[in-house]
Amino acid sequence: MSKPTIEQLLDVSPCEYSEGLPIEQFIDPVIHQMWPQMPRIAGPAFTVKCGKGDHLSLHAAIYRAKAGDVLVVEAGPDYANTGGNVCAIAKQRGVVAMIIDGFIRDIAEIREAQFPIYARGVMPKPGVKEQMFPLNQPIKCGGVTVNAGDYIVADEEGIAVIPKDKLTEVYKLAKARTDKDASMNLADWKVQHSKKVESKLQELGYSD
């Protein structure tokens, strides 16, 4: 099987990627969608590390990321790391989304611009611009080690981080699960589910 396209990745929910990924590849759900009904996003990770209370690395990254990239950011749990104007520029340049292990501000502007962003929450006070870290280095975001070029698939269900060297393998497993579920109606699923549950209860010696 050839490497899946972004469109193919978008056709599969993060739930189904769990078929091929351990829980360690799913970003902590405290990092969540920051406006309702955000579309599913997918793309390669452009990784960014920010110093405590400092957002220079992220503000530099919006001018260096390529169209189609997802900015994935390791940041501090204090000041806001980005706001409306920075997100507007990122969107203009084709950045797909931001995933920030930290806080943001100007949420109304970001929501109005329909720019997909995931974060821990909102903080009115911005950080400073004093520290610059190398871009596209391994980072930690929501407990997950993310390398530049790993693939991100995210929606309201959560954020999957797919190692770039396992992309095809993981997608194949996820797509197979998607196709299997799509081919089965609720009545058929109920029969299989009931059999599986009752078999396990019998194995455990459980009786009502």
- Known binding site: residues? 83-86, 105-106
Annotated binding site for Mg(2+): 106
CA–CA separation, 124 vs 4, rounded Å? 40
CA–CA separation, 33 vs 119, rounded Å? 7
Cβ pair 161, 25 in contact under 8 A: yes
Structure tokens at 128: 């400073």
Structure tokens at 155: 């929606």
Q: Which residues pair with 73 in a beta bridge?
A: 48, 100
Annotated binding site for substrate: 83-86, 105
Cβ pair 110, 90 in contact under 8 A: no
CA–CA separation, 113 vs 101, rounded Å? 21
